[in-house]
Amino acid sequence: MIVIRRLVDRRRSYTGIFLPGVPPKIFPTSDQEHARILQIYKQDRAHPGILNDFTDYGLNATELRPGKMKTPPQRG
């Protein structure tokens, strides 16, 4: 499975691509370049048959859209 992460230090932002058994590839990228990399590798939303953060952590893309978010339960 491929893992893509955004890495930020004080001066630069990087994209890290990690594959099992392969040395990590870490290179400087802008926010736009990183977003495009995520889009290419299907990390932008849940896709059928694709394992990514949305499937690993149970994230639901429809819940992240404004106006479609569930309201929190009322206490008391």
- Show me where the domains of the chain are located: 3-64
Predicted pLDDT at 68: 46
Given the structure tokens 């990390």, which residue do they identify?
A: 43
Type of residue numbered 56 = D
Tokens at 70, concatenated:
């569930």
Q: What is the pLDDT along the chain (76 residues), one digit of tens a residue?
A: 788 899 999 999 999 999 889 999 999 999 999 988 888 776 666 767 766 667 766 666 554 444 444 454 555 5
Predicted pLDDT at 3: 85
Predicted pLDDT at 16: 94
Predicted pLDDT at 34: 92
Given the structure tokens 């394992």, which residue do they identify?
A: 51
- First CA to last CA across the chain, in angstroms? 44
Residue 5 β-bridge partners: 16
35, 21 in Cβ contact below 8 A?
Answer: no
Q: How far apart are CA 5 and CA 14, in angstroms?
A: 8
- pTM score, whole prediction: 0.54
